[in-house]
Amino acid sequence: MRKIIYYVHQSLDGFIEGPNGEFDWPVLGPELSEYSMSLTERVDLFLYGRTVWEMMSSFWPTADTTGADEHEITFAPIWREMPKLVLSTTLQGADWNTEIIRDAEALREIKSRPGKDILLTGSATVAATLTELGLLEEYHVIVHPVLLGGGKPVYHPVKERLSLELAESRTFDNRTVLLRHDLVRS
């Protein structure tokens, strides 16, 4: 069965955006970019919540045409072509090969279809919902050397304790740290 992989950037103090919604602090060096690209090779579907979808769809369609760096030039065509899901109760329409689903339970059926894994990027609220439903199997957290002093936390409280196993840790570009955990099924 396909896995849903959570890939998220966070500050050292545990936030995915700053107090005013800032997301200008993550730095993708060559090693982190390569790791990010390796995740896209494992998947055949991108998953977002509405807020991250709006951010991604406002940037990636043309990211490779306007002063782009190497990562943007490489990833933009992949983003345009990859099928995408947005979990949202409010989004009315989406382009760029995107389907809107209204209920996280719909992911159970999608997850059971043949195919590669599914990559959830950012979207802490969606990650919390999927965690509660037992649908997230891997957590790929990139910790950046910045303290934001507040903002949106990377994790929401869970109703009951979940056991995770450290599957991998490593540094990228002498700057960021990957903490990859797998859900331990009892």
Mean pLDDT per 10-residue segment, the chain (186 residues): 95 96 93 96 96 92 85 92 95 92 91 96 92 93 97 87 93 98 85
Report the pLDDT value the prediction gives residue 105, as an integer from 0 to 100. Answer: 85
Helix axis angle for 30-42 and 70-81, nearest 10°, is 10
Q: pTM for the whole thing?
A: 0.94
The SS3 call for residue 144 is strand
Report the pLDDT value the prediction gives residue 66, as an integer from 0 to 100. Answer: 78
Report the pLDDT value the prediction gives residue 151, as an integer from 0 to 100. Answer: 95
Could you tell me the residue ranges of all domains in the chain? 4-22+29-163
Token pair recorded at residue 98:
């995107």
Report the pLDDT value the prediction gives residue 47, as an integer from 0 to 100. Answer: 97
Report the pLDDT value the prediction gives residue 113, as an integer from 0 to 100. Answer: 94
Fold of domain 4-22+29-163: Dihydrofolate Reductase, subunit A (3.40.430)
Are 86 and 99 spatial neighbours (Cβ–Cβ below 8 Å)? yes
Report the pLDDT value the prediction gives residue 67, as an integer from 0 to 100. Answer: 72
Are 96 and 78 spatial neighbours (Cβ–Cβ below 8 Å)? no
